Amino acid sequence: MQEMDSHREQVADLTPVDGAAALGPFDRRNARYGLPLLVAIVVLLLVGAWLVRNLSATDWNPTMLVAVAAEEGPSLGYSRALLGDSVENRPGRGHDGRFFFVQANDPWLLEPHRHAAVLDRPVYRSQRMLYPTLASGFGLLEPWGAVWGLLAVSVVTISAGTYATALVARGMGASAWWGLAFGFNIGVVSELLVGGGGHLGFALVMFSIAAIQRGRLGWSVAALSGAVLAREVMLVATAGIVVWLWRQVGPKAALIHAVVPGAVVAAWAMYVRSRIGWMSGLAEVEEIGWPFVGFVQALEFWPNRPLSFAVGVAVLALLAVFTLRFIRSPGSLVGYAAIGFVPLAVLLTLQVWFNYFDITRAVSPVITAFLLMAFAAPNRDHEAPMEGTPSP
């Protein structure tokens, strides 16, 4: 406890100060949380309007928007068996939404022979359990309810992530309107377009950072535990946060942030294998390869895909610029949470670099972190616990 108090005193002069400090308790609360909430509501309304527009164009059939059964094959037959012939086919081979729909119908893997067997990579997909579990009401909803649930959770996630990012921006001494760095992040938008669930993990990481800024490390641990269940790659963000905590707060807080999320994801991984089969799952990972090989291979196809080419080159440039910004801001918590995605990105295969919506999803934490560090609070290089005793 004395160590924590000492740390707070050391960083007191680095804590952002704004007009809220001079207000009474009620006004201070509104100054801190009112504007972030407004920013989140704005994003909620915009995403909701986009959703209504697209649903009205498909006669209020949600299957197109979550990419359910996008190709002839097991997923199409599976979804039509549960939803009927009204299932919409998305051109091409579809995307993540069709698999999350399968998981939503059996989030606890109680009948893997019926549901998980439809997945292209059962162990790999089943590790990402939080999004389909929430969408299905923890397995209580019928198939059509699960389809609508996927959309509802996605919309709420983008709004909630915007709120968390607005809180983080305030913690960095910037305007809460920089919360839009989450809601308008092209990677987050891409998750919505393909029925993905990575934005849920990313939103929980931002909630973790906001909690750390306010000295609520117990909430931070809980948020990271959810993040790694939403998308296992958020272990990369967790590792960065652990390093920052070790340097800025102390080993106890860092170890708890490492052990608890790690134990949670490991326990779920063991459960998945007990239901599906005892295998490592490494053979199902198709997204990781040799450095820059995926980018170079994508260059062969990009001449006929100008948008993906432009975005791919921009992402590569962003990785370099963000790394330089991180070096110049050695105490940035958001920087530590995102820096691990830089080396990860250079290892990504053609499967990820090929389409602009896949590569932007893969580096979405870098996009938001760069905007916050470079433009929202360009002169700040340190975020520290703001209020309360930083104990788990």
Give CA–CA dist 85/48, Å, rounded: 27
pLDDT at 58: 85
pLDDT at 294: 96
- Identify the band that residue 71 occupies on the pLDDT scale cut at 50, 70 and 90: low
**Which is higher by pLDDT, 107 or 280?**
107
Is pLDDT at 15 greater than 50 in this prediction? no
**What tokens were used for 67?**
């990419």
The closest of 228, 225, 208 to 217, measured between CA atoms, is 208
pLDDT at 28: 42
**pLDDT single digits (tens) 330-384:** 889 999 999 999 999 999 999 999 999 999 999 999 999 999 999 988 866 555 5
The conformational region for residue 19 under phi > 0 = left, psi -120 to 50 = alpha, else beta, is alpha
Q: What is the average pLDDT value for the chain, to the nearest integer?
A: 87
Rounded to 10 degrees, the C-alpha dihedral 33/35/37/42 comes to -170
pLDDT at 75: 77
**pLDDT single digits (tens) 201-256:** 999 999 999 999 999 999 999 999 999 999 999 999 999 999 999 999 999 999 99
Q: How far are the Cα atoms of 30, 48, 162, 181, 382 from residue 369, in angstroms, in the given order?
A: 25, 25, 13, 8, 13
